[in-house]
Amino acid sequence: MLVLPPTYISGGGFLFKGPFRKKVLTSIYSSVTILINKLVIGEIAMHQLTGIVITKEDAPTLEEAQKKAERVMDEYLCSALGEKQGYFDWYATHDEGRWSDDSELESVMDLATEKGMNAFNRLKGHNLEEKKRNLEKIKEIMSTKTDEEILDAKDWETNYYFRAFGDGYGLGNYLYDNEGSSLSDNWWLNTYMETTDDKWLVLFDCHN
């Protein structure tokens, strides 16, 4: 457990005055400490292996699938260096990313093959693990706080897990369709993936 020194909440130079200043700074201190610990223990990763599932009807070849998936990243999922709001701030193609040396992965994978489906199921498993982890945290919060405390909560941790469980985009959500819609929802995942032989999986290293 990493604990920030008390000087982080007692220093000068802030706009807040009086008792309110101490309350706000204490809240900031608590939130930053939680965030740093999550980074340290690996609960939050800044890089994520992410897949976009492209239909072969939209992109008949590997090259077309790669181009289509990059358009989805640029138009729907990435902030394009701050030009618009996105769920990731930048991305690298698989061949240029940190998973490029993983022999089980390729930049574009055919879901008509066992290797392609293994990669897809790997990301699908990550989605499920993230949902379950957030759900367990929500159960823990609900067992220790009243409804009023949860509704009025201003601390980072209480709000984060509820938001993360319901959100289908960005870090913690590993699969998207060929229009940039999240595949973390089981209903849409099962509908979109009713057939797999007619789809590609295009991989990216996404950052946030």
Q: Would you list the DSSP string of 60-93?
A: -SHHHHHHHHHHHIIIIIB-TTTTS--SBSEEEE
Residue closest to 189 by CA, chosen among 169, 200, 175, 199: 175
Position 80 confidence tier, pLDDT thresholds 50, 70, 90: low
What the block records as the tokens of 124 is 């699908």
**pLDDT digit string (tens) for 49-68?**
999 999 999 999 999 999 99
**pLDDT digit string (tens) for 113-170?**
999 999 999 999 999 998 888 899 989 999 999 888 888 888 777 888 888 787 778 8
Which residue ranges make up each domain of the chain?
7-41, 47-207
Element at 192 (helix H, strand E): helix 186-192
Tell me, what's the pLDDT at 165?
81
Tell me, what's the pLDDT at 88?
86
Q: What is the mean pLDDT of residues 19-24?
A: 48
Winning range, highest mean pLDDT, from 89-93, 117-121, 170-174:
117-121
Position 179 confidence tier, pLDDT thresholds 50, 70, 90: very high
Tell me, what's the pLDDT at 153?
83
Q: What mean pLDDT, rounded, does the chain reach?
A: 80
User: In this structure, are strands 175-176 and 47-55 parallel, antiparallel, or unpaired?
Assistant: parallel
Q: Distance between CA 198 and CA 8 in Å, rounded?
A: 55
